[in-house]
Amino acid sequence: MKKDDRRVKYTKMVLRDSLVKLLSEKEIARISIKEICEGADVNRATFYAHYADQYDLLEKIENELLDNIRSYLTVHEQNGVPNNGTEWSTTVDMVAKIFDYLRENAPLCKLMLNDKRNLNFQKRIMTLVYDPYFLRLADNGTYTKEEMEYVYSFTLTGFVGAVQTWLDNGMAQSSRTLAELLVRLFFRVADNAQAAPRS
C-alpha cells in the first residue's frame, strides 16, 4: 500500500472515531464539523476532501458497518454453517451470525442502534434477513400491500428493541438463543396471520 493510501486510511479512521465519540454525547444535528476536526486533529480542508458534511460521514460509517456484516455473513456461509435444511433453521443461522458480529463490535453497534437515531439504519439491517420473508407474505396473499407497511414497522420496532435490550444487558444471552427467540416470534406471527380468517 502506498504511503498516501495509508495516510488517507488513517485520516478517515480518526474522523470516524471522532464522530462516533461525539455521537455518544449528543445527536448528529448538534455536532459541528469543527468539533469533528478538533477531535481528529485534522483541518477542515482535509475533512472536506473526503466528506461533504457530518451527515455524509455518518452515512459512510453506516455503509461500512453494513458492508462488514455482509462480508461476515459471506465468510461464514462459505465455511458451511450446519443447519437441517429448513427455512426456520436457515434463518436462525443467519440472524445468529448477525448477532455474533454485533457482539464483536458492541460499542459501535450499540451507538448506531440507539433509539435517539432515526430508523433508516435499523431498516437497512432488517433487509439483510427479513425482506425475502416479507415479500413472501405479500406474494401469497397473507397481507395486502398496505398491511405490509404496518407489519414491517411492527416487526422492525420489535426487532430493534430486542437487540437494544440485549446490548444494554451486556449480551447475557448467546447470539443463538436470541436469534431463535426472535425468529420463532416472527414465524409465529406469519403462521397465525395465514391461519386467521380474513374480514
Radius of gyration of the chain measured on its C-alpha atoms:
20
Which residue spans of the chain are classified as CATH 1.10.357.10? 1-59
Query: What pTM does this model have?
Result: 0.72
Q: How confident is the model at residue 136 (pLDDT cuts 50, 70, 90)?
A: low
pLDDT at 9 over 90: yes
d(C-alpha 126, C-alpha 130), whole Å: 6
- Report the amino acid identity of residue 47: F
Residue 79 has pLDDT above 70, yes or no: no
Cβ-based neighbours of 116, under 8 Å, separated by 6 or more: 27
Would you state the pLDDT for residue 12?
95
10 Å CB burial of residue 62 (0-12, 13-18, 19+) is middle
Q: What is the model's pLDDT at position 83?
A: 46
pLDDT computed for residue 81 by the predictor: 46
- Whole-number pLDDT of residue 172: 94
| 69 pLDDT above the threshold of 50 | yes
The per-residue pLDDT for range 141-189, each reduced to its tens digit, is 667 777 877 877 787 788 888 988 999 999 999 999 999 998 888 777 6
List the one residue out of 175, 185, 174 whose CA is nearest residue 94: 175
- Concatenating the DSSP letter of every residue in 128-186 gives HHTHHHHHHHHHTTSS-HHHHHHHHHHHHHHHHHHHHHHHHTTS-S-HHHHHHHHHHHH
**CATH top class, domain 1-59:** mainly alpha
Average pLDDT, integer, range 23-32 = 91
2 compared with 18, residue with greater pLDDT:
18
Instruction: Taking residues 10-24, report their average pLDDT.
Output: 94
Residue 120 has pLDDT above 90, yes or no: no
